[in-house]
Structure 1
Amino acid sequence: MHDPGKISGLQMIYLLINVVGATALVFLPGLTASIAGRDAWVAPVLATLPGFYVILVITALGRRFPDRTIVQYIEKLLGPWLGKIIAFCYVLFFLHVNGVIVREFGELVAAAIMPQTPQVVFSALMVAVCSYGVYHGLEVVARVMELTYPLMLMLFGLILILVSGHMQLANLFPMFQSDFKTIIRSSLNPISWRGEVFLLGMFFTYLARPDLARRNGIIAVLVIGLLLTINAIACTAVFGVSTGRFNFATFELVRLAGFGTFLNRLDAIWIIIWIVGIFGKVALFHYSTIMGTVQLLRLKDHRSIIVPLSILLIALSLSQFKNLTDMLAWINGPWIPYAYLFEMGIPTVLLLLAFLREKSASTGNPFKPKSTGISGKK
């Protein structure tokens, strides 16, 4: 696989913010409010701590294996057979989750502006554009995010200003009306989405300053937590407990912000910029799928598998859910333990194994692992 270039610290922060925020900003306010009501804003706050944990684990592994991705050092830590099986499961995880993301994109665009257009059109167009970006390397995707993400944050701030007149602080009170168990349950989904920052393990080796990865990762998690909390508070302040009735609460907020102003079509502007954010998220997962496949199969070039994996991604996005209700049920159910396993569970085990091997090597254990000479770059 050709060298994808180097990722700067700022680009890394934008990539990690976007990999969570691109979809969480849209879906989480309604999902958490349907459980915790007006206390939904607490969920993204609680999810921030597990986000820190994921960054600490992934960067600790990255420092121990600076020339390898998570797919590569799994095999080193777990052995050739079990390692290949788990690494293959990770590739399937990247592909499967990306199929859900592409479907989320299609569902929102269909609901917002093009309800009569078949889902296959949205999926094919998004995957085609992302495949083009992946073909030219991860640095291209990182540069797109570096150029556009400040615009997305500025637009988000403008939306909050325009909608401030519709906010009613009374909708936020009484606080903590839900019991502790309910609030914890509402945070399970945000934690699973926050854990997506573990994708750093797939491009850690391409960071220009890997020594700053932990600091930049913590900054990204903090910004994500701040954005999601502010978004949840804004939705609740405007819609009250009715927030849980909206599948796309943030989009309803955008519509309200533009209504009756000179920015009457603010929702269209937001959709355009949000599509760029989805491009970044889909492209990063697609890149991880392709990179993982190349490294797992020891291929020399990634270009030959872009088309078949892209077709598989489109088919997966169309086939796994019957409709939006079916997709949201999966996100609120099986997705949570599924994400915890790959984002936190397995990386934690890998870090423990790496620590034990280091300890045994320092005491002269004859089973000290030997370097295989596998490089993180193909």
Structure 2
Amino acid sequence: MNERITGTQLAGLLFSFVFPVLVIPAPGIMASFAKQNAWLAVLPGTLLAVLNIWVMTALSKRYPGLTILQYSEKIVGKWLGKALGLYFFYFWFSLASAAINEHSRFINTFLLPRTPPIVGVGTIILLAALAVYAGIEVIGRCNTFLMIFIFAFLLPLCILALNDANPERLKPVLAEGIVPVLQGGLPISANINQVFLLSWLIPFLHQRQKARKAAMYALLGIAGLIIIVDLLTVMVFGPITGKLTYSFLSLIQFVGIQGSFERLEALAVAIWVAGIFIKVSLCLFMLALCLSNVFGIRSYRDIVAPIALLSLIGAIWAFKTNTDFQQFETFSYPLWAILTQNVLPAALLCIDALKGNARPLLS
């Protein structure tokens, strides 16, 4: 693989794949279960992601230079490995379709209500497909610029929100026990553990020994900023946080109304669009890698166009109503994601160790 990214670019891609799209609805999702303890719901998923990063980097050390698709065939056999590759294709295709569909609904709700959904869907897929065709190096460089853009908007918004924050709304802590926190943490855990894409990106890393360190930095940034946003949202809105679909956006709108700034939600929308571009680009990239590996296609670039078209169709037909999407995001996807992103890599590592791979398990 001739394309290469740096450790900093890897950390940035992991961060942008998860955080910008997650931060808008996250406080509301967690508060609907954990209420004022929503910020604690980030912790179980973070701990699970730490374990997941360790598993994936351990596998990459056992099979240097190979993606999870390639070393799966060595661990469980050629045909079962290819079946697993098709399963991963379906998983990333479903995630891409859901993300693009949600993007369309978000843009139509807050930015372009009279614009046909196909315009928003088609535009983001076209831009992402062009980025994938240019290669992972180009996506990494684009993301470096977009991260500066995201932080330049995010940090002032959080500072402005402090003016209306009331710490008393965070009390009592764990009044109803740990169960609501775990319930609120399940959907967020599934999203945080999307750092699973590390298994695809490590072979493109210039210094592969830095993979674990880069991933941990990305995870720290994701978890830390989501906790900050959760705290601010709950301190401003209190008990109604769990009833807000796009809670962080509502926070920014409230700050704009209370202060001397207007249309601050445009900044939140800009953060969303930047994040969805990186997310869709990486999803298409992994879809192309999956199919090229399963069917022995020499270059993943040869199938970017049909995969983009397939994703367009999937995004349009994915969910008919907001209720369908909420059911998928809150209940169906988390369990499926944990099975795919956490259980499968751990199973591959255990099978490889049992087969007698000479490398120590705790490497």
1:140 alignment counterpart: 138
For residues 290 and 262 of structure 1, the distance between their equivalents in structure 2, rounded to whole angstroms, comes to: 47
CA RMSD, Structure 1 to Structure 2 (Å): 1.6
2:205 alignment counterpart: 207
Counterpart residue type for residue 132 of structure 1? L
Aligned residues: 360
User: Matches of residues 358-377 of structure 1 in structure 2 within 5 Å?
Assistant: 358-359=356-357
Cα separation, partners in 2 of 1:307 and 1:172, compared to 1, 3 Å: same
1:372 alignment counterpart: none
**1:300 is paired with a residue of what secondary structure?**
coil
Please tell me whether residue 19 in structure 1 is matched to residue 50 in structure 2.
no
1:369 alignment counterpart: none
1:290 alignment counterpart: 288
Residue by residue, what CA displacement relative to the aligned partner does 1:77-116 show, whole Å, maximum 9, x if unpaired?
1112211111110011111111111112112111211223
User: Matches of residues 248-267 of structure 1 in structure 2 within 5 Å?
Assistant: 248-259=246-257, 261=259, 263-267=261-265
For residues 132 and 259 of structure 1, the distance between their equivalents in structure 2, rounded to whole angstroms, comes to: 39
Contact 2:101 2:318 in 1 (8 A): no
2:45 alignment counterpart: 47
User: Matches of residues 200-279 of structure 1 in structure 2 within 5 Å?
Assistant: 200-259=198-257, 261=259, 263-279=261-277
Contact 1:6 1:139 in 2 (8 A): yes
For residues 225 and 187 of structure 1, the distance between their equivalents in structure 2, rounded to whole angstroms, comes to: 12
Shift of 1:47: 1.6
Q: 1:8 aligns with which of 6, 9, 27?
A: 6
Counterpart residue type for residue 131 of structure 1? A
For residues 345 and 166 of structure 1, the distance between their equivalents in structure 2, rounded to whole angstroms, comes to: 42
User: Matches of residues 1-378 of structure 1 in structure 2 within 5 Å?
Assistant: 3=2, 5-259=3-257, 261=259, 263-359=261-357
Show structure 1 runs of 5+ residues with no match.
Answer: 363-378
Contact 2:21 2:272 in 1 (8 A): no
Shift of 1:155: 1.7
Residue by residue, what CA displacement relative to the aligned partner does 1:288-337 show, whole Å, maximum 9, x if unpaired?
00111111111123233112111110111111211222101111111111
User: Which shifted more, 253-262 or 335-344?
Assistant: 253-262
For residues 188 and 361 of structure 1, the distance between their equivalents in structure 2, rounded to whole angstroms, comes to: 33
For residues 53 and 78 of structure 1, the distance between their equivalents in structure 2, rounded to whole angstroms, comes to: 22
For residues 121 and 60 of structure 1, the distance between their equivalents in structure 2, rounded to whole angstroms, comes to: 43
Show structure 2 runs of 5+ residues with no match.
Answer: none
For residues 48 and 78 of structure 1, the distance between their equivalents in structure 2, rounded to whole angstroms, comes to: 29
For residues 325 and 91 of structure 2, the distance between their equivalents in structure 1, rounded to whole angstroms, comes to: 17
For residues 198 and 302 of structure 1, the distance between their equivalents in structure 2, rounded to whole angstroms, comes to: 20
For residues 153 and 361 of structure 1, the distance between their equivalents in structure 2, rounded to whole angstroms, comes to: 40
| TM, length-normalised to structure 1 | 0.91
For residues 361 and 112 of structure 1, the distance between their equivalents in structure 2, rounded to whole angstroms, comes to: 52
Contact 1:72 1:296 in 2 (8 A): no
For residues 357 and 15 of structure 2, the distance between their equivalents in structure 1, rounded to whole angstroms, comes to: 35
Contact 2:30 2:38 in 1 (8 A): yes
For residues 346 and 273 of structure 1, the distance between their equivalents in structure 2, rounded to whole angstroms, comes to: 32
Contact 2:150 2:274 in 1 (8 A): no
**1:333 is paired with a residue of what secondary structure?**
helix
User: Which shifted more, 144-153 or 335-344?
Assistant: 144-153
Shift of 1:260: 5.4
Contact 2:11 2:218 in 1 (8 A): yes
User: Which shifted more, 63-72 or 254-263?
Assistant: 254-263
Shift of 1:359: 4.4
Residue by residue, what CA displacement relative to the aligned partner does 1:253-279 show, whole Å, maximum 9, x if unpaired?
122233355541222133123311211
**2:24 is paired with a residue of what secondary structure?**
helix
**1:334 is paired with a residue of what secondary structure?**
helix
Counterpart residue type for residue 333 of structure 2? W
For residues 11 and 258 of structure 1, the distance between their equivalents in structure 2, rounded to whole angstroms, comes to: 33
Counterpart residue type for residue 331 of structure 1? E
- Aligned residues with identical type, % of pairs: 26
Contact 2:96 2:284 in 1 (8 A): yes
For residues 140 and 318 of structure 1, the distance between their equivalents in structure 2, rounded to whole angstroms, comes to: 27
